[in-house]
Every structure is written in C-alpha cells, then in structure tokens.
Structure 1
Amino acid sequence: MSVRAELDHIVIGAETLAEGLGYAEAVLGVVIPKGGAHPLMGTHNHLLRLGETSFLEVIAPDPEAVAPGRPRWFGLDQPPQSPRLMHWVLRMPGLAGSLDILPAEVGELIEQRRGDLTWQITVPKDGTLHFGGAFPSLIDWGMREVLPPSAMKGAGFSLSKLEVAHPDAERIAELMAPILKDERVSFVPRPEIALTAWLIGPKGEVILR
C-alpha cells in the first residue's frame, strides 16, 4: 500500500494557555485566535494558519474541563514547565485503513469532534509522546475538498522548515521513511531532544523552539 503523510501542524504546549500564548505571540508579534475545547481530552487551544495546508496550535490543559477518563494527548497530563514547541502532527488521508502498516509507536486511533468538524488522530494509550515528542502523531481530516487551515485566521506566516533533533534521530527517520513525504522536515542527531520551526512572516523569518 502506498501512503503519503505531510506536515499538518506544529504544537506548542504549556501548563496554561496564557503561558503558551505569551510565548508564541511574543515571538510572532501577532495575536493567535481562539480555537476551542476538547472535552474528551480536557484541553483547549488557539490556532493560527501557516499557509493553506498547515497551522500552529497552542494547547494546554483546560482548568474548566471535567477530568478526562483517559490520559490527555500530547503528554499534557504532565505539561512542560516552560512553553515550548513540543510536538508535530502529520496529515494522512485514509489513516484508518493504513494502521496495519504503520509503526506501533503511533498508538491507537481516536475520533474527535468539534462543531461540524470531525477528525481521527493517533494517540498512545498512555498519552505520552514517543521519543519525547520527536515522533509525530498522525491525523486524518476525512474526505474534505478544503483542509481546515483554510478556514483559520492567519497573519501572513508560512512554515518553511521543521527540524527534529533527537539522540536516536536516525531511528525516527527510518520509521518515518515509508510514509513521510515532506521536504520541510529534517531529522538531526543531537544529545538533547528539541523541535525547531522556521516561519516566514511579514517581517521576515522567525523561529519557534
């Protein structure tokens, strides 16, 4: 089976949404619009379009949500003490039919809904991020002619590059090789786990870490 996954969005996580927005908005110099809540996961977010097919998500545990009956996604039961770029998500059409050929690290497939928007996303059963967030989640927005980012508010930014640094970067690249088809993503072996995104905006290049 031939599958193709492309970069869908990058994720800034924080202990609180205010802290995450404070970091991201200071770097970008713009206000990031409100997204919504995820009752199943006990989280909420703000979203910013990065071109026609990608976006930035700022996410944190929702203090007003009922405690979820399962671990939160993106490892947010233990959010980072300081806001940072902590995860990335690949878009793969036909995801449900491809699970048997994907690495076990992707986890289980969960369906989410907000308003008239539905999607499927892979989440490890324990909610943790494999390889410290350097291994992506996979998402399928369903049979849509127009991807969700096109309906999001933007500020003239586009995502030009994502660097995934990890001590075992070669192993992650090997796992991703059969499905990842996006030249913006590179894997770099380094002692520390880190994600770095380069965005091109109205005033030039900015970097999120």
Structure 2
Amino acid sequence: MSIPTRLDHVVIAGPDLGELIAWFAERTGVIAAPGGAHPTGTANALVALTIDGRRGPQYLELIGPDPERIDRALPATFDIASLEAPSVQAYAVHPDDIQATVDHARRNGYDPGDVGDLSRRTPAGELLEWRLTRGPAQRLDVPFLIDWGSTPQPGLADIPTIELLGFERTEPAPDDLRALVDALGLGDGTARIVAGRASGYRLVLRTESGEVVEL
C-alpha cells in the first residue's frame, strides 16, 4: 500500500468529538492532542504521522462538532451531520501553488472549488491561518487542496505520533474517480485509487507496540 507524496492530513470525522478521540485511543493507544475550534462549528484533535519512523508535516485530524458551538445543529463539514460513527472521510494535499492547481484542474474537467481562507486558535491562543479549496463542487472522494502559507503546519507541532503504513481509496468502478483526481495534475501526490467492493478510504497505521490497525 502506498502513501501520497503530497499528503497534508487525513480527516477522521465523527458526530461527537470526545467519543471520536476515545474511539481512536482504544484502537491505537494514542490520545489525540487538542487542536482548536473552527468558525464552522467544528473542533479537532491532532496526531502527527511518521513515515519510516520519521516526522514530516503530515498528520491525522480528528474532527467533530465543537462542544461549545452556539448553533446546536450538527455541522455539515465533512458530512458530519449524517455520520453515526467515526469514519475516515477525506484528505488534504499541499500543492506547490494552490491556485495554479485549481486552474489546472478546471482546464481538465474538474472544479475543486474556489480557494478560501480559514483559521482557528490553538489551546494556547495562537492563531493559525490557512487557505484551502471548498465550495459546492467539493467532493469527499477527491482530495481538497491546502496552503499553510507562513503558518507552521500542525503536523510538526509537539503532539503524539503514530506510524503511517498506507493510505488509499477503494472504488467499485475506479476509472471515473481516477479521471477527476488526475485532473489535479499531482501524480503520486494523491492517494492511489484501487478497485474494491465499496467506496471508501483505507488508512493503515502501526502502533507503538507494533500492532497494525486498519481504519
């Protein structure tokens, strides 16, 4: 199983953030570090990913409804409102030039959405700001694009780690999705798409004790 060379982070979402953190800890032995709240009504917790034992910018984002949100309705972000259990929902990649990648995709038949700004504060009060693609055209089976600019990438922070062994997408009829992902022009920077019985992501991790866990 391969790992996307431009992987920024993998999104694991759930209808309750506390339960999601506990679910992940039960399966991996790793307790995700608090991240922060978003203006979209979500909050997250983070785990850095190592590859061959080495740290890089890549990480896991555990995301769910912000317990302190004003609007008590479940947020639509990453389809959280429809989830009944934790799910590997999406992933982000970091191109060299986010706008150029959007333009390239549009010329080749796929619209990843406009580039917009988003931010959150860390538990220590530090403001993190980034740019990403989002909009009506965004699909969870195609990676969204992210650009951290001058903000330090969260995967490099002092947070718990776990080893990443592989990440890929399965589809009963993979060719159509491959065409959309290929429109981004990022080659092996995106997750490999393989034939499978059901649509979804395969995330394979190795715990500190050596146990291989597939989510």
- Identify the range of structure 1 (164-173 vs 30-39) with the bigger mean alpha-carbon deviation: 164-173
Q: 1:123 aligns with which of 129, 134, 155?
A: 134
**What amino acid sits opposite 2:66 in the alignment?**
D
Q: Distance in 2 between matches of 1:61 and 1:108?
A: 24
Structure 2: gaps (5+ residues)? 51-55, 121-125
Q: How do residues 13-32 of structure 1 correspond to structure 2 at under 5 angstroms? A: 13-32=13-32
> Aligned equivalents of 1:107 and 1:30: distance in 2?
34
Residue in structure 2 matched with residue 136 of structure 1 by the alignment:
143
Q: How many Å separate the matches in 1 of 2:5 and 2:113?
A: 16
Q: Do the aligned partners of 1:11 and 1:88 also contact (CA within 8 Å) in 2? A: yes
Q: Which residue of 2 aligns with 1:158?
A: 163
1:103-152 superposed Cα distances (whole Å, 9 cap, x missing partner): 534222221122332111112337xx62xx322111111146x5331114
CA distance in 2, matches of 1:38, 1:162: 26
- Structure 1 gaps of 5+ residues are none
1:203 counterpart residue number: 209
Residues in 2 aligned to 1:117 and 1:91: alpha-carbon distance in whole angstroms: 16
Structure 1 stretch displaced more, 43-52 or 96-105: 96-105
Shift of 1:9: 0.8
Give the TM-score normalised by the residue count of structure 2: 0.79
**Offset, 1:200:** 2.9
Kept in 2: contact 1:14–1:79 (CA 8 A): no
Q: Amino acid of the residue matched to residue 181 of structure 1?
A: D
**SS of aligned partner of 1:125:** coil
Q: Is the 8 A contact 1:42 1:72 kept in 2?
A: no
Q: Which letter does structure 2 place at the counterpart of 1:123?
A: R
Q: What's 2:92 paired with?
A: 89
Q: Deviations over 1:5-41 (max 9, x none)?
A: 71111111111102211221111112111100001x1
CA contact (8 A) 2:22 2:31 kept: no
Asked if the contact 1:14–1:81 (Cα under 8 Å) also holds between the matched residues in 2, the reply is: yes
Identity of aligned residues (%): 27
The residue that corresponds to 2:83 in the other structure is 80
CA distance in 1, matches of 2:49, 2:208: 12
Deviation string for 1:71-96 (max 9, x for gaps)? 743223x2411112111111223212
Shift of 1:57: 0.7
Alignment TM-score, normalising by the size of structure 1: 0.81
CA contact (8 A) 1:60 1:79 kept: no
Q: Distance in 2 between matches of 1:93 and 1:143?
A: 14
Q: How many residues align?
A: 195
1:54 to 46, 58, 69: 58
**In structure 2, what residue type is equivalent to 1:119?**
W
SS of equivalent to 1:181? helix
SS of residue in 2 equivalent to 1:106: coil
